């Protein structure tokens, strides 16, 4: 499996969720939530061979948002890698160009251009803001309200063993070797752990792991999860925008 998130840049995304979020007007976040089982096959989308995790994650997020609204959107390795190439200059014929992606650059592209699905249609997000890295309460609120949160982690080498063994990512004692940066969509919370999509399947992550290894996180406003302006959790778009005191586009 490949990693592919470049190191976090401090304040690369200047708009912060904490600035716009008024917790007093939001509903209580359920102990368990999510639609991670709505997709039968997320697909690897090339992330076993190249470091396109930021783009595979974007595709997985879009698949979930569409499914929440009763629609089906599919992505191919080719469509995902085409966006990777457009933003980073990746060339499938030149391994030296496989250098990963900056999360803010990808988010800007997703807002301005949109990611390409397997049919040639593009899917844009309306806006994006940064979360406080490592804050599990803010992460839970954002994932519940918006369906998915793009999380960047400093990936400890031992986490690959846990993934291969089907075990939750958790914190181990001592200093862990960091293998690189990785992008994972957080889409649910079950049994006290967060559920992420990575390398084509659902993986659990403990809140402590998130606290220790998250170095950046972005939440996106996507209208694709809405049916007649209403999300599966019962929020309408106008109320969402009011609750967050409206996003300012970049």
| pLDDT tens digits, 8-54 | 998 887 777 766 666 666 678 899 999 899 999 999 999 999 999 99
Assign 118 a pLDDT band (cuts: 50, 70, 90). Answer: very high
| pLDDT tens digits, 215-234 | 999 999 887 766 555 555 55
pLDDT of residue 250: 36
Assign 249 a pLDDT band (cuts: 50, 70, 90). Answer: very low
Question: What average pLDDT is seen over the chain?
Answer: 89
Mean pLDDT of 90-103: 97
pLDDT of residue 69: 83
Q: Percent of the chain at pLDDT above 70? A: 86
pLDDT of residue 10: 85
Beta bridge partners of 181: 154
Q: Is pLDDT at 80 greater than 90 in this prediction? A: yes
Assign 127 a pLDDT band (cuts: 50, 70, 90). Answer: confident
Q: Which helix (H) or strand (E) element contains residue 54?
A: helix 53-68
Q: Which residues contact 221 (CB under 8 A, 6 or more apart)?
A: 125, 126, 127, 128, 146, 240, 247
Q: What does the longest C-alpha to C-alpha distance in the chain come to?
A: 52
Q: Is pLDDT at 241 greater than 70 in this prediction? A: no
pLDDT of residue 205: 98
59: tokens are 């595709």
Q: How far apart are CA 131 and CA 201, in angstroms?
A: 24
Beta-strand runs (E) in 7-164: 33-34, 115-116, 122-123, 127-130, 149-156
pTM summary value: 0.89
| pLDDT tens digits, 144-187 | 988 999 999 999 999 999 999 999 999 998 889 999 999 999 99
Q: How far apart are CA 78 and CA 155, in angstroms?
A: 26
């Amino acid at each position: 499996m490949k990693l592919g998130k470049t190191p976090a840049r401090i304040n690369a995304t200047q708009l912060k969720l904490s600035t716009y979020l008024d917790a007093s007007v939001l509903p209580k976040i359920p102990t368990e939530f999510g639609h991670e089982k709505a997709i039968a096959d997320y697909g690897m989308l090339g992330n076993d061979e190249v470091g396109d995790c930021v783009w595979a994650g974007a595709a997985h997020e879009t698949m979930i948002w569409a499914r929440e609204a009763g629609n089906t959107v599919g992505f191919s390795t080719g469509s995902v890698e085409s966006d990777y190439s457009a933003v980073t200059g990746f060339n499938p014929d030149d391994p030296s160009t496989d250098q990963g992606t900056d999360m803010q650059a990808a988010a800007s592209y997703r807002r301005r251009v949109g990611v390409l699905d397997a049919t040639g249609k593009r899917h844009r997000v309306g806006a994006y803001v940064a979360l406080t890295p490592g804050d599990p309460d803010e992460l839970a609120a954002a994932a519940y309200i918006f369906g998915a949160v793009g999380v960047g982690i400093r990936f400890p080498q031992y986490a690959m063993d846990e993934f291969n063994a089907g075990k939750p990512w958790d914190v181990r004692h001592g200093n862990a070797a960091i293998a690189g940066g990785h992008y994972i969509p957080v889409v649910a919370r079950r049994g006290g752990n967060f559920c992420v999509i990575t390398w084509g399947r659902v993986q659990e992550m403990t809140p402590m792991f998130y606290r220790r290894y998250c170095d950046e996180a972005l939440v996106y406003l996507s209208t694709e999860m809405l049916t007649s302006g209403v999300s599966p959790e019962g929020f309408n778009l106008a109320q969402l925008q009011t609750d967050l005191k409206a996003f300012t586009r970049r």
